[in-house]
Structure 1
Amino acid sequence: MATLLYRLGKTAYRRWPAFVAAWLVALIGVGVLAGTVSKPMVDTFSIPGIPSLTAQDLQKQLFTDTEDAEDQASVTVVVAAPQGHTLREPAYIDRVDRLVGDLQALPQMPATKLADPVPASDAQYRQAVGAATKSGTPADVARANARALLPLSPDSRVGTVSWTYDVASVADVAPATQQKLLDVLADARADGLTAEANGSGTQAMVETGGTSELLGIGVALVVLIITFGSLVASGLPILSALVGVGLGVSGISIATAFTTVGTTTPILATMIGLAVGIDYTLFILSRYRTELHHTDDRQEAVGRAVGTAGSAVVFAGLTVLIALSALAIVRIPFLTSMGLAAAGTVFMAVLVALTLLPAVLGMLKSKAFGGRVRRERVERDADGRLHNNGVRWARLLGRAPVAVLLLVVVALGALALPARSLHLALPSDSTAATSTTQRQASDLVSDAFGPGREAPLLLVVDGRGAAEADRPAAYGQVVDWAAGQRDVASAQVVGMNEAGTGAQILVTPRSGPDAQATVDLLGALRDGQSAIEAKTSTTVGVTGITAIQTDVSDRLTEALPTYLAVVIGLAFLLLMLVFRSILVPLTATLGFLLSVLATLGATVLVFQEGHLGLVEGQPLVSFMPIIVIGIVFGLAMDYQVFLVTRMREAYVHGASAREAVVDGFRHGARVVSAAATIMISVFAAFMLQDNALIQSIGFALAAAVFLDAFVVRMVLIPSVMYLLGDAAWWLPRWLDRLLPNVDIEGGKLTAMRVPDDAREVADETQPVR
């Protein structure tokens, strides 16, 4: 491995015009193609085989005109009169009528005419009450059921206008249609009305800016300037990361022409791509600076840097790729697309670090470390070796490793305790940023009609197993059973097919779509499903967007243990190959579990329970834990590889186990600290986004990197290594013979080097020529 990468680095340095030109052509070509074929990104959260989709298939059998709930581009415009007024007042009747007419004129509208909420509400109420009482429903129940479906609030202040765009799927709603809807809403507000819109057909109206990325890059640049003391060198990791992210995100845009891609997918890819792109280049560039103190041949120095640090980059990148690509094994389509998109961006980051960086170094030559802004005073031990803060920290830990180990375990364990109350749900209009029209529309509906209006459950009743004469009574029994459940505001038949063999029963909860009470209601309906089926000789299923999203959340939770087992197992084998040890990979994975549990606990405190006042408390997004685990596991192993490979390098070259720990910190602590700081700044900057999902993931990733890099890798792991001593590097002889030697420490390259005692003790912080 090291020899192969050594040759690659030297070739890229020597033939830099060809390599730089190839990357430029790739960047421009992929960018042009993305701009030509890309389609809008849409969030679709569904998993084949979940109970709610099985019920939807039953609905299609009984009601042949049924469309998939997740494909319907539905929109609800919520219009409200000023406080103290109603939509029935003459001053607002004409304004609402004009709004409805403007909405009707939007592109891609269905053929059916939109209904004005005031007259439609009156007509619908009379018709519903009359039909219900005629069929034997008590008058008070009939009136309550009718009010549950009206497009006008009880105080007549808030009304709704709903429709579904005439498109095949949500992705087909044109951006021009979205913009015209926003214009109509703005005109209604100019008329003195409050007008907002939500629903799946408004997804494309949510956009995220680039402020967070710029802030993260700015902080990273400051850290790099401090690390290298050179303006030119500090810009190289930023340049490399931007190239990798540009190619990765352009690739995601191209993928939208062939498959559905969620709106958060490119943001996650950008987040991880920036972080690893900067870090991987930083590791190789730092090693290149060190190698310049061992040789005057810059081409040789680049080759050695890519052969040694590049080997670590390859294996670190492999752990990230494994963690992200393994999201496909849980067989959740939208999660698979997120993982593969992020993995593709990481792959680009590795390629850029291994090929574009040495090519740019070949182009810059002696100017690679130009624009120096500081020079650092160097201290040395009595034996002439570098004595820096990494050495001081490692020796401090070595004085009381047991106490340090216990302190870290107790602290992380305490921070993990809030994770016991983890409440997961999928993103919805009710959890969108308060500044969005989707959230404001949702709040208006909840205040005017009750939160359950946005959390309907649909019971599909198949009456083909019952006698024809008994079916109406059977449907009534199902309604009574559903209405008797806890937290149900109303339950009523909203449709029967022409043959009378099937019925649809709308169940409106008292709680909102993200409330635990609504989840409990869905569970209660399913728990009692078999009993009511036996009693009525029917088949009952529960579907609707709320049920689908709840089932997806449950499936994500169920998939987490399998995902963890596969990722940790594969990464353990990979780390065993790298370190040729059993205990080092074991401690690495156990340390990761501690840090990720503590991260989930901290995220629950801040985002679910609303502590620190950063956001209002709300459930965490269902796929946040599995995404965070996938990304952080890869990054955690990055730091393990970059720090502990320097320890192993010292150990295999004759240092004692204890001194190897110190030597690993001597050479690796500074660059790992810089890399982790950059990661934290890039991730934390995404908390500036309005999207609650991105905010929570940004916080969780930043917290996880801090805990894993600075607490686990820089405190816990060295303490454990001190306690294990030589046993840390134990490997059974039979297993040692089976494992291939990948030479990640660059032993073959070291053998090629001509010793130079003066240069061997040189410090990478010294100016280079």
Structure 2
Amino acid sequence: MSTLLFSLGRWSYRHPWRVLVAWVLLLSLAGGGALAFMKGTDNAFSIPGTEAQEGIQLLERTFPQASGTSAQIVIVADDGDVVTEEPYTGAIADTVAAFTDLDGVLAVTDPFDDMVSGLVSDDERAAIVRLQFDGQAIDVSEETTQALRGISADVRDELPAGAQVALGGDLFGTSIPTLSIIEAVGVLLALFVLIVTFRSLAVAWFPLVSALIGVGLAIALIYAATAFTLISSTAPMLAIMLGLAVGIDYALFIVARHQDQVRAGVEPEESAARATGTAGSAVVFAGMTVLIALVGLSFAGIPFLTVMGIAAAAAVAI
């Protein structure tokens, strides 16, 4: 392994533009494939064999009307008012009618229905309007969710200033992780740490850029794979986090060894080959242990964990 890596390091040093162009070309091809063929990630999470999953499946078979997700709007009257009088009764009636017309809504429970109890507080200051949807939270369209928020805002505007309106329930209890400014801040912090470590702005960019190219390629391949198989929505995020972590860390080993050898008087070409052969061998060993651990998630028998592990393993390998 050391001999192979030594030769790879020397060849890469002698042909830097070929190496860089090859990686950028791979990234471009994978990115183009992802844009052309990706079908989006899967937000459904199931744990086969568990009592909870079996209960959900049984409910879907025997009582599908109650197996879907739900939402509710809570209306609290102003001090001195009650929800059983105007303008609250009218606003609640309008809300029930508006909810009934939404796509995907199976049923809306009116708190003032004679067949219903427990949706109006004992002091008559608060009332709850419940909604039952067809399917789980991931099956409810974004348009329907936005319409719910719009109706809630309209009710809030109609009622007296001191009244309170809150929208909640299972529908709003599921959040899918997405990229945010936090990841960008983390990359900048990593760059700062690398600059301090290497005492060189130029050298500090090498581990970071190589990690970003590797993660970009991995994520593009993951999204391209959605054309052929179901990929859980959490898989890309895990691949990004682990890919950046090991990408920067492993490149740091090799670059640090190379920098120390050059400062000690070793020729840059020889140093690059040695660093890749020695520190690179440690990187291969460490990377293999991480790959084994991630692929080992499949032994849990949980589909989305298996996908997460394989996707993250691909990012680490790249």
Q: Fold conserved (TM > 0.5)?
A: yes
Candidates 158, 163, 177, aligned match of 2:127:
158
**Equivalence for 2:10:** 10
Candidates 196, 199, 207, aligned match of 2:170:
199
- In 2, distance between residues paired with 1:95 and 1:216? 47
- In 2, distance between residues paired with 1:339 and 1:57? 26
Deviations along 1:258-313, whole A, 9 cap, x unmatched? 31514x443333222221111111111111213323432x3332222111111111
**Equivalence for 1:42:** 43
- In 1, distance between residues paired with 2:149 and 2:222? 27
1:485-634 aligned within 5 A: none
Specify the SS of the correspondent of 1:182. helix
User: Aligned in 2, Cα 1:223/1:97: closer, same or farther, shift over 3 Å?
Assistant: same
Amino acid in the other structure paired with 1:118: P
Amino acid in the other structure paired with 1:282: L
**Offset, 1:4:** 0.8
**Equivalence for 1:334:** 304
1:705-716 aligned within 5 A: none
1:155-554 aligned within 5 A: 155-156=123-124, 157-165=126-134, 170-192=137-159, 193-200=164-171, 203=174, 208=178, 210-257=180-227, 258-262=229-233, 264-292=234-262, 293-296=264-267, 298-348=268-318
User: Aligned in 2, Cα 1:86/1:334: closer, same or farther, shift over 3 Å?
Assistant: farther
Deviations along 1:480-511, whole A, 9 cap, x unmatched? xxxxxxxxxxxxxxxxxxxxxxxxxxxxxxxx
Decide whether the 8 Å contact of 1:42 with 1:170 is kept in 2: no
Candidates 112, 127, 133, aligned match of 1:119:
112
Using structure 2 for the length normalisation, give the TM-score: 0.82
**Offset, 1:41:** 4.7
- In 1, distance between residues paired with 2:277 and 2:261? 11
Specify the SS of the correspondent of 1:161. strand
1:72-151 aligned within 5 A: 72=68, 74-84=69-79, 85-106=81-102, 108-110=103-105, 112=106, 114-115=108-109, 117-120=110-113, 123-125=114-116, 147=117, 150-151=118-119
Identity %: 35
User: Aligned in 2, Cα 1:20/1:247: closer, same or farther, shift over 3 Å?
Assistant: same
Decide whether the 8 Å contact of 2:42 with 2:230 is kept in 1: no
Amino acid in the other structure paired with 1:261: S
User: Aligned in 2, Cα 1:220/1:58: closer, same or farther, shift over 3 Å?
Assistant: closer
**Offset, 1:319:** 1.0
**Offset, 1:57:** 5.8
- Name the larger-Rg structure: 1
**Offset, 1:330:** 1.4
Amino acid in the other structure paired with 1:241: A
* Greater relative CO (CA pairs within 8 A, separation 6+): 2
Amino acid in the other structure paired with 2:73: V
- In 1, distance between residues paired with 2:295 and 2:309? 6
User: Aligned in 2, Cα 1:235/1:80: closer, same or farther, shift over 3 Å?
Assistant: same
Decide whether the 8 Å contact of 1:173 with 1:201 is kept in 2: no
Specify the SS of the correspondent of 1:124. coil
Specify the SS of the correspondent of 1:320. helix
- In 2, distance between residues paired with 1:251 and 1:186? 41
Specify the SS of the correspondent of 2:108. coil
Specify the SS of the correspondent of 1:187. helix
- In 2, distance between residues paired with 1:209 and 1:164? 28
- In 1, distance between residues paired with 2:139 and 2:57? 23
Decide whether the 8 Å contact of 1:88 with 1:118 is kept in 2: no
Decide whether the 8 Å contact of 1:324 with 1:343 is kept in 2: yes
Using structure 1 for the length normalisation, give the TM-score: 0.37
Decide whether the 8 Å contact of 1:81 with 1:158 is kept in 2: yes
User: Aligned in 2, Cα 1:330/1:67: closer, same or farther, shift over 3 Å?
Assistant: farther
Q: What number of residue pairs does the alignment pair up?
A: 309
Amino acid in the other structure paired with 2:4: L
User: Aligned in 2, Cα 1:76/1:236: closer, same or farther, shift over 3 Å?
Assistant: same
User: Aligned in 2, Cα 1:227/1:34: closer, same or farther, shift over 3 Å?
Assistant: same
- In 1, distance between residues paired with 2:66 and 2:303? 16
Amino acid in the other structure paired with 2:108: L
- In 1, distance between residues paired with 2:185 and 2:304? 28
Q: Where does structure 1 differ by over 6 angstroms across 4 or more consecutive aligned residues?
A: none
Specify the SS of the correspondent of 2:111. helix
Decide whether the 8 Å contact of 1:171 with 1:260 is kept in 2: no
Question: 5+ unaligned residues in a row in structure 1: which ranges?
Answer: 126-146, 349-769
User: Aligned in 2, Cα 1:307/1:287: closer, same or farther, shift over 3 Å?
Assistant: same
Amino acid in the other structure paired with 1:272: L
Question: 5+ unaligned residues in a row in structure 2: which ranges?
Answer: none
Amino acid in the other structure paired with 1:279: D
**Offset, 1:91:** 1.2
- In 2, distance between residues paired with 1:270 and 1:68? 37
Deviations along 1:445-470, whole A, 9 cap, x unmatched? xxxxxxxxxxxxxxxxxxxxxxxxxx
**Offset, 1:170:** 4.7
User: Aligned in 2, Cα 1:113/1:319: closer, same or farther, shift over 3 Å?
Assistant: closer
- In 2, distance between residues paired with 1:172 and 1:291? 58
User: Aligned in 2, Cα 1:229/1:55: closer, same or farther, shift over 3 Å?
Assistant: closer
Specify the SS of the correspondent of 1:119. coil
Decide whether the 8 Å contact of 1:86 with 1:158 is kept in 2: no
Deviations along 1:123-158, whole A, 9 cap, x unmatched? 224xxxxxxxxxxxxxxxxxxxxx4xx444444403
- In 1, distance between residues paired with 2:83 and 2:221? 49
1:22-37 aligned within 5 A: 22-36=22-36, 37=38
Decide whether the 8 Å contact of 1:188 with 1:194 is kept in 2: yes
Amino acid in the other structure paired with 2:71: T
RMSD: 3.0
Deviations along 1:602-649, whole A, 9 cap, x unmatched? xxxxxxxxxxxxxxxxxxxxxxxxxxxxxxxxxxxxxxxxxxxxxxxx
Decide whether the 8 Å contact of 1:324 with 1:342 is kept in 2: yes
Decide whether the 8 Å contact of 2:73 with 2:152 is kept in 1: no
